[in-house]
């Protein structure tokens, strides 16, 4: 089955810096790769996703890149702000199948 | 609120008791998922329904766990003879009919087994 690895487990940056979180997946049939943000005590919420037919997607300060050959995808957050502090999860899934999540990255943005 | 709703939000139970959680997905979402999340970990898949059919169940799920979605709308997750290791956040998510779109999560039910 699918296995998703995520690094780093914690990431501390200064406000205004960029943050990059990386994930690798094992199942070459996976074609959907969302990123979720989870604040303490709250539900995971989708912040951006990418499908296997594109290599990059951007939404304001957030971007995701996908390398299908290497089976890895990354989340890039530019101009980080304190409100970006949260736990971020990557996930992967086959068409119409369950999401398999990474172990999460705790991002701390210091003012 | 038209999002995914879960009930109860919190449940404290004694070891050995049975508990049941309910999930109401977003209307017309035909796919419904149950996940379990422990502190510091990502959501772990438990089971998945498409309409009323339970299509997949995690191998990690013991026989004490059972889930239903009798009319293809709300779902229930029951844990029998609870153990302390069952303490976790139980998350429900739903997705629409289309292929690979966002899974919308409920706020979860936090179970504490004492």
Tokens representing A26 are 């094992």
As a whole number, mean pLDDT of residues B18-29 equals 95
Partner-chain contact A89 B33, CB within 8 Å: no
Pairing of the two strands B10-13 and B109-113: parallel
Any chain A CB within 8 A of the CB of B39?
no
Window 66-105 of B, Cβ < 8 Å to A: 91, 93, 99-100, 102-105
Model pLDDT for residues A42-95, shown as the tens digit of each residue: 999 999 999 988 899 999 999 999 999 999 999 999 999 999 999 999 999 998
Using an 8 Å Cβ cutoff, are A86 and A36 in contact? no
Contacts of B43 in chain A (CB under 8 A): 44, 89, 99, 101
Any chain B CB within 8 A of the CB of A42?
yes
CB-nearest partner of A49 from B45, B102, B105: B102
Asked if pLDDT for residue A105 goes beyond 80, the answer is yes
Using an 8 Å Cβ cutoff, are B67 and B54 in contact? yes
Using an 8 Å Cβ cutoff, are A49 and A32 in contact? yes
Asked if pLDDT for residue B100 goes beyond 70, the answer is no
- B2-6, B16-20, B101-105: lowest mean pLDDT where? B101-105
Which pLDDT value is given to residue B1? 52
Q: Which residues contact B94 (CB under 8 A, 6 or more apart)?
A: B4, B23, B25, B26, B29, B31, B32, B33, B103, B104
Q: Please give the share of chain B, as a percent, with pLDDT higher than 90.
A: 79
Any chain B CB within 8 A of the CB of A86?
no
Which pLDDT value is given to residue B99? 61
Average pLDDT, chain B: 92
Partner-chain contact B42 A103, CB within 8 Å: yes
Give dist(CA B78, CA B83) in Å, integer: 13
Shortest CA gap B42–chain A (Å): 5
Partner-chain contact A32 B105, CB within 8 Å: no
Q: Please give the share of chain B, as a percent, with pLDDT higher than 70.
A: 96
Task: Choose the mutation target among B36, B41, B42 for the interface with A, i.e. most A CBs under 10 Å.
Answer: B42
Pairing of the two strands A100-101 and A45-51: unpaired
| pLDDT category of residue B24 using cuts at 50, 70 and 90 | very high
Asked if pLDDT for residue B98 goes beyond 80, the answer is no
CB-nearest partner of A100 from B45, B100, B104: B45
Asked if pLDDT for residue A16 goes beyond 90, the answer is yes
Give dist(CA A55, CA B38) in Å, integer: 32
Which pLDDT value is given to residue B60? 77
Contacts of A37 in chain B (CB under 8 A): none
Which pLDDT value is given to residue A95? 84
As a whole number, mean pLDDT of residues B6-27 equals 97
Tell me the three-class secondary structure of B47-105, residue by residue. EEEECCEEEEECCCCCCCEEEECCCCCCEEEEECCCCHHHCEEEEEEEECCCCCCCCEE
């Amino acid at each position: 089955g699918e296995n998703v690895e995520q690094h780093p487990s914690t990431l501390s940056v200064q406000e205004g810096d960029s943050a990059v979180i990386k994930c690798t997946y094992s199942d070459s049939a996976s074609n959907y790769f969302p990123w979720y943000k989870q604040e303490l005590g709250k539900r995971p919420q989708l912040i951006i996703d990418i499908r296997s037919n594109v290599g990059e997607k951007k939404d304001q300060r957030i971007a995701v890149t996908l390398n299908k050959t290497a089976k890895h995808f990354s989340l890039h957050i530019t101009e980080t702000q304190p409100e970006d502090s949260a736990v971020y999860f990557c996930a992967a899934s086959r068409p119409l199948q369950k999401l398999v999540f990474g172990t999460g990255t705790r991002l701390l943005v210091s003012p | 609120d038209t999002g995914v709703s879960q009930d109860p939000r919190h449940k404290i139970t004694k070891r050995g008791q049975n508990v049941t959680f309910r999930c109401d997905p977003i209307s017309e979402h035909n796919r419904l998922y149950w996940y379990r999340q422990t502190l510091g970990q990502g959501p772990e898949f438990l089971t998945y329904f498409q309409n009323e059919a339970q299509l997949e169940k995690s191998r990690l799920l013991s026989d004490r766990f059972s889930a239903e979605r009798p009319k293809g709308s709300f779902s229930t997750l029951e844990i029998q003879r609870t153990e302390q290791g069952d303490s976790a956040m139980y998350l429900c998510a739903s997705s629409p009919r289309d292929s690979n779109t966002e899974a919308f999560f409920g706020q979860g039910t936090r179970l504490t087994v004492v």
